A = this chain, B = another copy of it.
Amino acid sequence: MTNQIDRFFSALSDPTRRAVVEQLIDGPAAVSALHDGHAMALPTFMKHLKVMEDSGLVTSTKKGRVRTYQMRQDALRAGADWLNAHRTMWEARMDRLSRLADHMERTRS
């Protein structure tokens, strides 16, 4: 039942996974390079990578014994769009409210 945007936000709700995004923005990297510096067992870390891949954030390809992860094109688009759209609606509403307050201020008996 959980759809893509659920998985997207869920993937970003963990600091380990956000760190991976930040690292991958600088370019593709192998599992062990990504794992470096994370104080957790490799299989645990690999579960995070799987979550990220399932969420559409990243893709991976294997060559020889090394698997390389990379950001996916437009990975951050859908979530950013959702947030920007809703933030815009919210700010528009705040605007209307403050204009209304202004008006009531100016026209008070």
Contact = CB atoms under 8 A, between A and B. Distances in A.
B10 A6 contact: no
Oligomeric state, in copies: 2
A76 B87 contact: yes
Given A76-B83, A86-B76, A87-B80, A93 B15 contact: no
Interface in A39-98: 71, 75-77, 79-80, 82-84, 86-87, 89-90, 93
B6 A86 contact: no
21 contacts: A5-B18, A6-B13, A6-B14, A7-B13, A8-B13, A9-B13, A10-B10, A25-B86, A25-B89, A25-B90, A26-B93, A27-B93, A75-B90, A76-B83, A76-B86, A76-B87, A76-B90, A79-B83, A80-B80, A83-B83, A84-B84
